Every structure is written in structure tokens, then in C-alpha cells.
Amino acid sequence: MDLGLDGNAALVTASSSGLGLASATALAREGADVAICSRDVDRLEDARERLEGMASGRVVARQTDVTDPDQVAALVDETVAEFGGLDHLVTSAGGPPSTTFLETTERQWYETYDLLVMSVVWTIENAHPHLLGSEAGTIVCIASRTVREAADGLVLSNAVRRGVTGLVQTISREFAPEIRANAVLPGTIETPRIEELIEARVDRGVYDDYEDGLAAMASDVPMDRIGDPGELGEAVAYLSSERASYVNGVEFPIDGGLMRG
């Protein structure tokens, strides 16, 4: 299916690996010009080379800390200068530390809020006038299934990410019909973070090996496996496309049926 993204301009934050990179990859495969960013220069360069190897459009990569509003503004400005405009914004961010309520410090609360919520606010604020000038303006925010079902040991993600979905619900009405805004709620997907988590549990003796860890994480998923990042990326590309022109304000779970609500 042609998603009609050829020649469009897209910006994906926190996109040197994981779900951000998967989203940038799906958009690039559809012919969009794509801007990516990361704090890690080496991973960013690797991601840029990977995208350029399969993209028909242009790829821009800029080192950016999304918790710094000045760097976010510069990222949007450079993207627009390079591509001549902006049609699609995808927001992503690394996950906060795994912790319980009583273990969490006040500083961690503030840092997580900047990472997960304010980074999205700053990016949307800077991107809004450019998306408004597009005939295909879209925003897709990558959140987590934890906004619907709290996960043990992830109090920061459980609590703070809900600010993102509340924001999406609000701007989907405020910005329509010129700009559509949606969120995706990934479940357990085999990203580098999940790989590190499994390997750490193997080291602690919780799992016998990596495959045992994968099986354990998939044990409650009706599809009997955890997800592939590309599956989320394809959903992001669809929501960004004209094929989803009547989809606005949704929270789209991509979790193999794990959520019961």
C-alpha cells in the first residue's frame, strides 16, 4: 500500500535506536525526508548511515538533548531549513529508570518529567507553525502501554507518561483539522532497552539465557511473542499518512493483545 509519504518531511526525536529509529526507518522507506536526533554521536552516525542505505529521500542527523529546549528549537529549525518545511513529527524518548515509589528520588521525578513530557511540549511548540503550514500535518507521540496498565517497578513511566497522552487528547482537538495528533502505546518490544533488561536478569540468574528471558516476557502475550520494533514503526508511518486522514486523537496499543482494558 502506498502511504503517500513520498517527498514529505518528517522529524523523529530520540531516533538513533529502538522505537524512534524504527519509526524513522518506516517513514524513510515510504520516501519521506527524515531528520533524526540523539545525544549519542556514534549511535546517531550509525543510524544515519543505515537510513541513507535504504532511503530514497534525504536524511538529516543532529546531536540533540531533547531535555534542553534550546537544542530542541535548533533541531526543528535545522530540519525545516534542510527540507523546506515540516509535515510530520514523531516524538520519542528513552525510558526512565526502573524503580519503586519509595526508592524514587525527587530529582528523578523532575528529570523524568523533562525527559518524557517537556521534551514533547518543546518539540511540538517549535514544530507547530511549520506543521500548520503543511497540507498533511501530523503528530505521533510514542508513549507506552503503562499509561493504561501500570507495570510493577516502573512508577516513573506509569505516572509521568500519562501527561503525554493527556496532551495528545487535548491538541488533537485544538489543532484539528489542520494537524492530526495521535499516540501509540507499545507493549513489550525487542528494543535495546529490553535486551539489556533480559541480559541483566540472565546475569542475576533470573533467566537461564536470553531465549528464556524472551519466552518469559511473552508468557502473558496472546500472540505468544514480544514485538518487533518494525511493527511499531509501520503503525507510526500509517498514522502519519493520508491513509489515516480520519484518525485523530487515538491511543493505539501495539502490544500483541497484552492489555485487557
Under DSSP, the state recorded for 146 is G
Q: Are residues 151 and 213 in the same domain?
A: no
Q: Is 136 helix (H, G, I), strand (E, B) or coil?
A: coil
pLDDT at 188: 92
185-196 average pLDDT score: 90
Comparing C-alpha atoms, which of 76, 88, 71, 126 is closest to residue 238?
Answer: 88
Q: Are residues 95 and 209 in the same domain?
A: no
Dig out the grid coordinates for 155 from the structure.
512508577
CATH of the domain at 94: 3.40.50.720
pLDDT at 171 over 80: yes
Task: Indicate the residue type of 90.
Answer: V
Question: Is position 135 within any domain?
Answer: yes
The structure's pTM equals 0.95
Q: What's the whole-number average pLDDT of the chain?
A: 95
Q: Are residues 168 and 221 in the same domain?
A: no
Q: Are residues 106 and 163 in the same domain?
A: yes
Number of structural domains (the chain) is 2
Specify the higher pLDDT residue, 42 or 204.
Answer: 42
φ and ψ at residue 178, rounded to 5 degrees: -70, -35
Question: Is position 2 within any domain?
Answer: no
pLDDT at 13: 98
Question: Is position 219 within any domain?
Answer: yes
Q: Any residues with CB less than 8 A from the CB of 145 and at least 6 apart, and which?
A: 151, 185, 186, 187, 253, 255, 258, 259
Q: Are residues 196 and 140 in the same domain?
A: no
pLDDT at 261 over 70: no
Rounded Cα–Cα distance for residues 83 and 60 (Å):
9
Of 6-15, 53-62, 133-142, 245-254, the one with minimum mean pLDDT is 53-62
The model's pLDDT over 121-168, given as tens digits with 9 standing for 90+, comes to 999 999 999 999 999 999 999 999 999 999 888 899 999 999 999 999
Confidence of residue 195 (pLDDT cuts 50, 70, 90): confident
Rounded Cα–Cα distance for residues 175 and 18 (Å):
29
Of 61-65, 92-96, 111-115, 122-126, the one with minimum mean pLDDT is 92-96
pLDDT at 56 over 90: no
